[in-house]
Amino acid sequence: MARYFDVHPENPQPRSVMQVAQIITDGGLVVWPTDSAFALGCLLGNREGLERIRSIRELDTSHHFTLVVSEFAQLGEFVKMSTPAFRAVRACTPGPYTFILNATRELPRAMLHPKKKTVGVRIPQHVTARALLNELGEPIVSSTLIMPGQEYPLSDGWAIKELLENSVDAVLDSGDVSDTPTTVVDLSGDEPVVLRQGAGDISLFE
């Protein structure tokens, strides 16, 4: 049964954030708020968590999972960036963007695109998301909570708790997410390619 944590959007209660971080550390799968939409998240290396995300969203193996970190400096361990990619990511983060980049060997193969060996990365600006990342002290592997057959992410935390009662371990809700997903930009090649226009401005990549 999923636990529900309702926190303040500007000053999320530390005890609740700590409890959600512990659930993730213990191998759980949670729904958490970001600056674009709710997302599913688990600890890096949690293979079972990835399979649970795939099951909930009915994803195939070509889906790009996203590695979410709190600081730009953390990315160097997990992805390779050309100079133009480095500048683009630096200029757009933190914010509502997901960037597809070539992964380093530090990342488990289970979360990479099977052919391209790429992964999504993002640095959110959202207060509660950053509080959770800072409490956890590690990246979160994440995927926007868009249910099968739906075009937009779910945006009501309590409704998500009711819907995924037996599929996730916790829902962290700060009451301030939209139903607009991130803008996804592929920077793994020579030229940037906008794969999805979402909350982030795409003018830098046109």
* Residue 148 DSSP label: T
Q: What is the pLDDT of residues 59-68, one digit of tens each?
A: 987 788 899 9
Q: Which domain does 63 fall in, by range?
A: 3-205
CA distance 19 to 96: 26
Q: Which residues pair with 173 in a beta bridge?
A: 6
Q: What is the pLDDT of residues 14-58, one digit of tens each?
A: 999 999 999 999 999 999 999 888 999 999 999 999 999 999 999
Is the model's pLDDT at 106 over the cut of 90? no
CA distance 190 to 178: 32
User: Taken in order 35, 36, 37, 42, is the CA torsion positive or negative?
Assistant: negative
Continuous H helices in 60-126: 83-92
* Tally of structural domains, the chain: 1
Full-model pTM? 0.93
**CATH number of residue 95's parent domain:** 3.90.870.10
C-alpha neighbours within 13 Å on the C-beta side of residue 115: 4
